[in-house]
Amino acid sequence: MANPKRKPRPSAAALARAKESASQKLADAAGCLTVQEVATQCKVHPETVKRWIGGDRLKAFKLGGHWRVRPADVTAYLKAQGA
């Protein structure tokens, strides 16, 4: 009899997709900025940057629980704001 509390194992294809996704995030993170770095560059508080991200005004992604922002996305945001 199978244990009803035990989760089924993920398929090999699902594991491969997860690994590929993680590898892509690491590759994307190269050259990306942290929230603190964006805040310093924009001369604002880090919480302000987090509000921009949370409000979908600044594109960002999480890597290991920390936000990362591409420099091009910061530039695009500042241009859109007229800065």
Joined tokens for residue 1:
């009899």
Average pLDDT, the chain: 85
In a domain, 43, yes or no: yes
Residue 4 predicted with pLDDT over 60: yes
Give 12-49 pLDDT, tens digit per residue: 877 777 767 666 666 666 789 999 999 999 999 999 99
The residue range of the domain holding 81 is 31-83
Residue 1 predicted with pLDDT over 60: no
pLDDT given at position 68 = 94
In a domain, 62, yes or no: yes
CB 63 within 8 A of CB 23: no
In a domain, 55, yes or no: yes
Give 47-70 pLDDT, tens digit per residue: 999 999 999 999 999 988 999 999
- For the chain, how many structural domains are there in total? 1
